Amino acid sequence: MINCLVQNLDGSSSLFLAVTGVVLGLAPTILSILGSNTVETALLSSKRPLLGFLLSLAAPVITPIRAFEQIDPCDFLLIPEWER
């Protein structure tokens, strides 16, 4: 049945299927770049554990670009320099 459907598609429909495959293949990479990093997830987990747990389950991957960044958690908490 699938072979029959693919053989009877016109050119534009097969092109749309190919583009859809590329977009779905890039989706995990795009989500990892746009998603939260580990420090943000950890800070969220300290205040809202269930939300942090659900966010960590929903994250497809950890981005390799920001994996080794040195992020100060006080920057996210908006603590002034003189109180640190």
- What are the pLDDT tens digits along the chain (84 aa)? 778 877 887 878 778 888 888 998 988 778 777 777 777 888 888 888 998 888 888 776 666 666 677 777 777 677 666 666
pLDDT value of position 42 = 82
Which of 72, 36, 71 shows the shortest CA–CA distance to 52? 36
Q: CB-side exposure of 58: number of CA atoms within 13 Å? A: 11
The dihedral region occupied by 37, where left means phi > 0, alpha psi between -120 and 50, and beta the remainder, is: beta
Q: CB-side exposure of 63: number of CA atoms within 13 Å? A: 15
Question: C-alpha 35: how far from its chain's center?
Answer: 4
Rounded to the nearest 5 percent, the helix, strand and coil shares of the chain are 70, 0, 30
pTM check: above 0.85? no
Q: Where do the domains of the chain lie?
A: 2-83
pLDDT value of position 22 = 92
